[in-house]
Amino acid sequence: MKEKSFWRKNELIEAGLDEFSVHSYQTASLNNIIKNAGISKGKFYYHFEDKKAFYLFLQESAYKEQLEFQDKRMKELTGDDKLDFFERIRLRTQIGAECAARFPKYAKFTMMFLNEEENEDTKEIIEYMYGFYQKTVETRVEEMVTDAIEAGDLSDRFSKDFIIRIVNHFLSHSTEIFGIDEEYNESKFLDDNNKFIDFLKFGLSR
């Protein structure tokens, strides 16, 4: 998506988040968004081809802003400290919860997307966004695993490729594993992630 810049852009973004945070993609009203943003339909369609293009723009914008926030907080909290692989994931999780509190509309918007039902209207959107997320996540996971292996944080019983696939699978299916629905519960989210990290670190054996 190309960066968009225009008059009342922020108002349009806020109106879009308000609508898509409480309605599914199909039931969300583009007319309501345009009306609440205080712009004309002509202005909207000058910048966006249709509802889908605007929705994807919102998703990408929200994701990138949250990622920037998390990266900045990670640097602030770690400084020169060298955390091991598991503590880095744990801190990332805590920062993710902090991010959800900092950007509640983004969090609700994301939860609505993760619970979208796949149909003719949403299939292409879901495939595109999961591909967009996956590309970013896989790059970061590979970097983290590579650094962890070099630091001696991970067992040599498992190949680098296997570890990367396990972590990527978890991150791609966390909503299914943890049973997350539209109602985000920070306490449960952190508790479930801590359990997963302990599972990664200590396994199932006694």
Q: Write a three-state SS string for 14-54.
A: HHHHHHHCCCCCCCCCHHHHHHHHCCCHHHHHHHCCCHHHH
pTM comes to 0.83
Is 172 exposed, middle or buried, given 0-12, 13-18 or 19+ CB atoms closer than 10 A? Answer: middle
- How confident is residue 51, by pLDDT bands cut at 50, 70 and 90? very high
User: Residue 143: which pLDDT band, with cuts at 50, 70 and 90?
Assistant: very high
Helix (H, G, I), strand (E, B) or coil at 12: helix
Query: What mean pLDDT value characterizes the chain?
Result: 88
Residue 80 has pLDDT above 80, yes or no: no
Rounded Cα distance, 31 and 15, in Å? 11
Which amino acid is residue 63, in one-letter code?
Answer: Y
Look at residue 181 and tell me whether its pLDDT is greater than 70. no
Q: Say yes or no to pLDDT of 1 above 50.
A: no
Q: What residues contact residue 171 under an 8 Å CB cut-off, 6+ apart?
A: 137, 141
- Quote the pLDDT of residue 2: 45
Which has the closest alpha carbon to 20: 112, 102, 101? 112
- Quick one: average pLDDT of 71-81? 89
Summarize pLDDT for 93-138 with one digit per residue, the tens: 899 889 989 999 998 998 899 888 899 989 999 999 988 888 888 8
Domain boundaries, the chain: 56-202
Q: How confident is the model at residue 93, as a pLDDT? A: 87
Domain boundaries 56-202, corresponding CATH code: 1.10.357
pLDDT at 5 over 70: no
User: What is the C-alpha separation between 87 and 99, in angstroms, rounded?
Assistant: 18
- Within 13 Å and on the Cβ side, how many CA atoms surround 45? 6
* Residue 199: Cβ within 10 Å count: 11
Q: What is the mean pLDDT of residues 35-47?
A: 93
> What is the percentage of the chain residues whose pLDDT exceeds 70?
93
